[in-house]
Structure 1
Amino acid sequence: MKIDPTIFKTYDIRGVYPDEINEEAAYKIGQAFATYIAGDVVVGRDMRNSSDSLFAKLADGVNSVGYKVYDLGLCTTPMLNFAVADKGFSGGMMITASHNPPEFNGIKLIGEKAIQFMKDGGILEIKELVLADNFNLVDSKKKIEKYNILPDYINHLLKFFSKIKIGKIIIDCGNGVGAVSAKPVFEKLGIDIIWLYPEPDGDYPNHPANPAEEKNLADIIAKVKLSNADLGIAFDGDADRAFFIDENGDAVNVGFLLAAIATEELKKHSGERVYYDLRFSKGVEKAITAAGGIPVKTRVGNPFYKKELINNGGLIGAEMSGHFMYQENYCLD
């Protein structure tokens, strides 16, 4: 079967399953990625109905060229990224199509320091290797090791929390994987949480896990109002971004949220760079400057923010889609 070259996108590999992305493609991508990074690979996956079978063939591909797979199992994209950054893996692969409809699936490719591959930074090279299909195969037993990153990830996140004075929070996971890490974290913090759709379900039976679309916030907005909650948090499918609802049931503008967070954080880190989406209003730039930060207007595409933070330093970066990246969190969401 010929591999569809159109699945290689700007920031990931993605397509409709099984017509565009399938087990054969996963096998070749596994071979190509392991060959390219010349190292063992840590792999995670979301709850989509095709993710398990894609993982099995992707892992076979990695093994076929002589490298080991560390299997995180069901996890969020930030958990996979944390594993790469904190444990020093040469690279990782996250099987997910993020917020896209259930018929899609995909693979995010993560390099050293958890820098995400992009079209002009790794993805084109992987595409060429896949289409050339000329790999050095080895005779070896299957090497897949289960790797539980969750305890270390939870402990890492808890380092950033002090006493939180808040009442009730509504969290909508949209049947994605957000609850995998969010539930144990919030349980340890002892906060009163009402959960909406925490069960991972690749059919998305309640609403698409895409909080950037206003219609998908209807349930959480209604619940915040009904419950007199102080805050609402809506995750996307692979939980690498979230939208927030205030106590009045209004969605919080992402640019406004960045300005508020930066204003508070710059009290401790004056003079640091803050990367902001070029689509944000001028008020965001003014707020960062007034708080003693250096505003850096950044192009659309969340991998660019992470790359800037890693390579050029800074405090925080945020994109209109709901991605927030922090220097102290390995420049990750």
Structure 2
Amino acid sequence: MDFSEVSKKSALHPKPAELVLQYGTSGFRTKAQDLDHVMFRMGLLAVFRSKCTKSTIGIMVTASHNPEEDNGVKLVDPLGEMLAATWEEHATNLANAEEQCISSALENIAKKEAIDLQQEAFVVVGRDTRQSSEKLVQTVIDGVTILGGKYHDYGLLTTPQLHYMVCCRNTLGQYGTATEEGYYKKLAQAFMNLIKEVSSSTHFPRCLIVDGANGIGALKLKELQHYIQKEFLFSIFNDGTSGKLNYLCGADFVKVQQKPPQGIQMKPNEMCCSFDGDADRIVFYYNDSNGHFHLLDGDKIATLISTFIKELLIKANVDLPVAVIQTAYANGSSTHYLEDIMKVPVHCVKTGVKHLHHKALESDIGVYFEANGHGTVLFSKTAEEKIRSQLKNGSKEEKKAAAMLQYTIDLINQTVGDAISDMLAIEAILAIKGLSVQEWDAIYTDLPSRQLKVKVADRCVITTTDAERNAVTPPGLQVQIDNLVKKYRFSRAFVRPSGTEDIVRVYAEADTQENADTLAYEVSLAVYQMAGGIGEKPNPHIENMFNVTAFTKEKTAIVYP
């Protein structure tokens, strides 16, 4: 294939001088004004990926929970999963190539991946509600079409909806119908089938208060209402009609600030939830009768869902193991409850959704949620076959439980974390189990925690092992951390380098907030002294230190990279 026309077209989408971007778990993200060249080149790359896999590939234009002036792009692989790690490198190299090197960069990818350039390619595209998204999508399409690729532009979608569309197309409809109506009908039918089992004594439907982050999730929730109608009531705030995307609202704001978003008047003990800007994260929360804020984050969500599934498996007499995948940031109380009370194995992996997703694939039923509210449940083919078999061959009670498991499988978006899907699943589980949000919260109590960051000259001096829970270098640092941890009850601490800037992130837990704060300070000081700290030394007055988190008496927000 002659790439000369591609080079000419690429010149119309010039790369800003000295701009270097890295493709990560979230794809590319930066100021929207600097993304034109990236969008064009990701259109090119999507065509190559489609030719290579002989499948439909997705491109989502979004910057998720970032400020409104930002934007971003991520590619979606054939089964709705994130882009393969080996192709992340291709994406980074292509995005950063100088104009005169575009042709050679494409030739290198084609050669390395043995791509049949005559193979047809098909790409589907979606976008969020940012003002810059529509124009950037057109640039993506320019990249797709210059290489002869075909495309379908879905327009406004949540990120999970686009992942769903890609999976549906590549499974020839086995996963569902690749339309918005197909998405809504699948979730609504599964939800309504599940809540048929709700006891008549349970007050249902309840009204859930939803913070839409002034983003795409609010628009799509309004469309979902037509399919669920009276079976599930919810009130949508921060719906984008007046507020700014992700500003003082949304899942990330609530998680970090440990307080309700603006735009919601919370009544005591009323359950609320917040989406993020592209609706792939969700967190729940409420104010108790004393006005104290309670956050139910990804750890609480994973615990409730895994418990529900395990109970149904026992009732259905289906022998399938359930595993929960966490990162080191998961609260220690959640890990203790799962392992010691529920007897559910817990695996810890490196920070980043792709690491959790890959580990979950190793289990027949893998539940993963980051504490920030991004996660889902993966069911293996073996698990689905065993459940379907019991639907046919089990006793009356076993068939009933197996049917509920099947409805749960249909309700969960297995391709990626999905705020709408997870919201429906949590509401159904609480109703079936007859739990209030307060009772859900009381299943276990989070240990007080604190996260801080330390500026260093070179973050690479910190290397870790054991899913980032132990520092290998610099020598002696882990011994110092271990000695500090011994001073406090129920305590642990770890450090890890940031993936994007020269800072080291410090996390600590202990029996009281005061001890967690002190431990975090002491570990931060050890990092500063042993790992080349620069700038102001860590300050024992934690609430003023680096202005990283909002200070609360009982809990502290965890900030994620």
**Shorter-chain TM-score: what band?**
0.7 to 0.9
From 224, 229, 240, the counterpart of 1:185: 224
From 149, 154, 162, the counterpart of 1:72: 154
Q: Residue 280 of structure 1 aligns to which amino acid in structure 2?
A: A
Q: Residue 234 of structure 1 aligns to which amino acid in structure 2?
A: S
Structure-1 residue corresponding to 2:239: 198
Q: Residue 67 of structure 1 aligns to which amino acid in structure 2?
A: G
Select between 54-63 and 304-313 the one with higher mean Cα deviation: 304-313
Q: Find the aligned partners of 1:179 and 1:297 in 2 and give their Cα distance.
A: 33
Structure-2 residue corresponding to 1:16: 31
2:357 is the counterpart of 1:306: yes
Q: Percent identity?
A: 20
From 21, 25, 29, the counterpart of 2:42: 29
Deviation at 1:286, TM superposition (A): 2.7
Within 5 Å, which residues of 2 pair with 1:266-277?
A: 266-269=310-313, 271-277=321-327
Structure-2 residue corresponding to 1:207: 248
Within 5 Å, which residues of 2 pair with 1:1-333?
A: 1-2=14-15, 6-11=20-25, 12-18=27-33, 20-22=34-36, 24-38=37-51, 39-88=121-170, 149-161=179-191, 162-163=194-195, 165-187=204-226, 188-190=228-230, 191-199=232-240, 203-204=244-245, 207-209=248-250, 210-211=252-253, 212-214=255-257, 217-219=260-262, 223-225=265-267, 230-246=270-286, 248=288, 249-269=293-313, 271-289=321-339, 290-310=341-361, 312-327=363-378, 328=409, 329-333=413-417
Deviation at 1:230, TM superposition (A): 3.2
**2:325 touches 2:369 (CA, 8 Å); kept in 1?**
yes
**1:83 touches 1:89 (CA, 8 Å); kept in 2?**
no
Q: Find the aligned partners of 1:181 and 1:189 in 2 and give their Cα distance.
A: 14
What 5-or-longer segments of structure 2 have no aligned partner?
1-13, 52-120, 199-203, 314-319, 379-408, 418-561
Q: Find the aligned partners of 1:179 and 1:149 in 2 and give their Cα distance.
A: 18
Q: Find the aligned partners of 1:160 and 1:230 in 2 and give their Cα distance.
A: 25
Compute the RMSD of aligned alpha carbons. Answer: 2.9
Q: Residue 262 of structure 2 aligns to which amino acid in structure 1?
A: D
CA separation of 1:25 and 1:282: change in aligned 2, threshold 3 A = closer
**1:167 touches 1:230 (CA, 8 Å); kept in 2?**
no
Could you report, residue by residue, the CA deviation over 1:229-273 in whole angstroms, capped at 9, with x for unpaired residues?
631010100000011013635222432332222222211245222
CA separation of 1:331 and 1:81: change in aligned 2, threshold 3 A = closer
SS at match of 1:246: strand
What 5-or-longer segments of structure 1 have no aligned partner?
91-112, 114-146
SS at match of 1:174: coil
Higher Rg of the two aligned structures: 2
Number of equivalences: 273
Select between 37-46 and 192-201 the one with higher mean Cα deviation: 192-201
Structure-2 residue corresponding to 1:119: none
Q: TM-score, normalised on structure 1?
A: 0.72
SS at match of 1:198: coil
**1:176 touches 1:200 (CA, 8 Å); kept in 2?**
no
Q: Find the aligned partners of 1:202 and 1:148 in 2 and give their Cα distance.
A: 31
Q: Find the aligned partners of 1:233 and 1:66 in 2 and give their Cα distance.
A: 43
Deviation at 1:151, TM superposition (A): 0.7
- Structure with the bigger percentage of helix: 2
CA separation of 1:201 and 1:16: change in aligned 2, threshold 3 A = farther
Q: TM-score, normalised on structure 2?
A: 0.45
